[in-house]
């Protein structure tokens, strides 16, 4: 099988958008050039399982240009058919259609595994888990995988703890160059702007409740405030809640905040974060969305079971009448809005994440003896990604002086040494 896409004729528009992204991805370009020159991925079968839009396409193409045999899959709700067509036009087997449902998504992922990838570049760990469950013969031949999301690394660590993980996995998500920027600034911008665009609202003067103040939540809070919203943060972790307070945000329980919310954005990645009671307490006209996220982070199935009914649907906006009588608008059925209803995180931010992914692939393929576990990307590789990006943003990194190095290397007290 050599691919399954919606319409090959869409390739030109997809290619234009890939070209735009690539022009703003200096880290990906630099690291893929090194992989090509060193022959690191030459002839290696690599499966890319990711949101399929212009930035991820750039990574798939970069790996292919460096000599890898690249196959691509993506869930239907995360697939851009134009981009899929552009990758197919470039000769890559692509298994992704925007209109695919869950069963076809699974068939597409299995089709990728039929190419017997030696490395999987994953987003959400769904394909890594699938290969362990359904294709043990493929796993046995694999050299490893990389995973770029918080929600994907968590089950992989569980797999390792339970002895189920059979390949080395680099937690690209945990690299500082990824999580400090992608999760916070990238998702912050893309989620907040997508909420405003999809719901067609101005955030000026609106009350925005941000549920969860991790890296994603803090970025969402910051961007909402920048557009003129009054932000209330809800948190279950006292330290994170304190951080929110020190950033100048009101901190309340979700039950307290819901009653005055114009917008609720969940950023916890935990099922049933916004529960039926919260939805029921929202004022009429409130908007609910998920940034990042997992299925049923907004408890929509439970809400329907409790009597909520959809009274209107306009594009990605579903309007529900709750049992309390209030009418709330749910964006994109509670899916990860910035991906499914917008264009994903900004290009240069994703460039950092994909730079980390490429560095992770390089680490997997050039490091002997990595055991079947979840590994961190070495600090030096992480630093290199950041340094390339910093230069592209116009910054210059300083160096440690000999005196500083001596100080850091010594355990002797230096009190009075300069007197």
List residues near other proteins by CB under 8 A: 16-17, 19-21, 24, 54, 181, 185-186, 188-190, 193, 196-197, 200-206, 222-223, 225-228, 342-344, 346-349, 392-394
**Spatial separation of the C-alpha atoms in residues 155 and 188, rounded to whole Å:** 24
Beta bridge partners of 174: none
How far apart are CB 196 and other proteins at their closest, in Å?
Answer: 6
Q: Taking the mean position of all CA atoms in its chain, how far away is CA 405?
A: 37
Q: How far is the CB of 90 from other proteins (least distance, A)?
A: 16
Q: Do residues 300 and 270 make contact, with C-beta atoms less than 8 angstroms apart?
A: no
Q: For residues 106 and 225, give the distance between their C-alpha atoms in angstroms, rounded to a whole number.
A: 39
| Whole-Å CA distances, 192 to 178, 181, 335, 337 | 19, 15, 14, 9
> Between residues 246 and 393, which has the closer beta carbon with respect to other proteins?
393
Question: Closer CB to other proteins, residue 17 or residue 115?
Answer: 17
Encoding tokens for residue 236?
Answer: 């279950």
Q: Minimal distance in Å, beta carbon 227 to other proteins?
A: 5
- Whose Cβ is closer to other proteins: residue 323's or residue 395's? 395
Q: Over the Cα atoms of the chain, what is R_g?
A: 23
Closer CB to other proteins, residue 296 or residue 392? 392
Residue 159 or 229: the one with the smaller Cβ distance to other proteins is 229
Query: What is the C-alpha to C-alpha distance for residues 339 and 71, in angstroms, rounded to an integer?
Result: 21
What's the closest the beta carbon of residue 411 comes to other proteins, in angstroms?
A: 37
C-beta of 43 vs 205, nearer to other proteins: 205
The first and second tokens of residue 87, run together, are: 């990758």
Locate 294 and state its tokens.
Answer: 């997992």
Entry field: residues in the chain: 419
Minimum distance, C-beta of residue 151 to other proteins, in the bound complex (Å): 23
Secondary structure, 3-state, 354-365: HHHHHHHHHHHH
State the nearest-atom distance from the C-beta of 290 to other proteins, in Å.
19
Distance (Å, whole) CA 52 – CA 17? 12
The candidate with the shortest Cα–Cα distance to 273, out of 227, 319, 216, is: 216
CB of 57 to other proteins, least distance (A): 13
Of 39 and 285, the one with the shorter C-beta distance to other proteins is 285
φ, ψ of residue 73 to 5 degrees: the values are -140, 160
Task: Compute the 3-state secondary structure of the chain and give helix, strand, coil in percent, each to the nearest 5.
Answer: 50, 15, 35
Q: Which residue has tokens 């299925």?
A: 295
Residue 108 Cβ vs other proteins, minimum distance, rounded to whole Å = 25
In the complex, the smallest distance separating the C-beta of residue 200 from other proteins, rounded to whole angstroms, is: 5
1 vs 180, which CB is nearer to other proteins? Answer: 180
| Residue placing its CB nearer to other proteins in the complex, 162 or 398 | 398
Three-state secondary structure call for residue 379: helix
Q: Is 416 exposed, middle or buried (0-12, 13-18, 19+ CB in 10 A)?
A: exposed
């Amino acid at each position: 099988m050599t691919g399954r896409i919606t319409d090959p004729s869409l390739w030109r528009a997809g290619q234009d958008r890939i070209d735009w992204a690539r022009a703003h991805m200096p880290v990906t370009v630099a690291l893929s050039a090194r992989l090509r020159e060193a022959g690191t991925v030459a002839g290696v079968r690599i499966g890319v399982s990711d949101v399929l839009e212009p930035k991820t396409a750039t990574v798939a193409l970069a790996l292919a240009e460096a000599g890898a045999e690249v196959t691509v899959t993506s869930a239907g709700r995360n697939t851009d058919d134009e981009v899929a067509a552009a990758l197919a036009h470039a000769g890559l087997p692509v298994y992704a259609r925007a209109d695919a449902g869950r069963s076809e998504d699974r068939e597409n992922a299995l089709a990728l595994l039929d190419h017997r990838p030696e490395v999987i570049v994953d987003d959400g760990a769904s394909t890594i888990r699938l290969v362990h469950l359904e294709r043990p013969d493929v796993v046995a031949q694999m050299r490893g995988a990389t995973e770029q999301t918080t929600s994907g690394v968590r089950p992989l660590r569980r797999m390792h703890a339970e002895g189920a993980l059979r390949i080395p996995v680099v937690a690209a998500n945990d690299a500082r160059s990824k999580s400090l920027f992608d999760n916070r600034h990238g998702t912050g911008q893309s989620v907040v702007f997508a909420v405003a665009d999809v719901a067609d609202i101005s955030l000026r003067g609106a009350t925005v409740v941000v549920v969860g103040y991790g890296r994603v939540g803090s970025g969402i809070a910051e961007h909402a405030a920048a557009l003129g919203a009054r932000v209330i943060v809800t948190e279950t972790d006292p330290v994170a809640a304190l951080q929110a307070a020190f950033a100048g945000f009101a901190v309340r329980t979700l039950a307290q905040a819901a009653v005055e919310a114009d917008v609720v954005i969940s950023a916890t990645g935990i099922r049933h974060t916004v529960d039926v009671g919260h939805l029921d307490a929202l004022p009429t006209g409130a908007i609910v969305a998920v940034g990042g996220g997992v299925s049923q982070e907004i408890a929509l199935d439970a809400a329907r079971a409790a009597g909520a009914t959809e009274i209107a649907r306009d594009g990605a906006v579903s309007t529900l009448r709750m049992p309390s009588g209030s009418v709330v608008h749910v964006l994109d059925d509670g899916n990860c809005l910035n991906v499914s209803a917008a264009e994903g995180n900004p290009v240069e931010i994703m460039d950092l994440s994909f730079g980390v992914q490429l560095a992770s692939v390089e680490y997997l393929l050039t490091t002997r003896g990595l055991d079947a576990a979840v590994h961190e990307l070495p600090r030096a590789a992480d630093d290199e990604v950041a340094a390339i990006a910093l230069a592209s943003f116009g910054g210059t990194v300083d160096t440690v002086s000999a005196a500083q190095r001596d100080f850091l290397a010594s355990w002797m007290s230096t009190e009075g040494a300069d007197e």
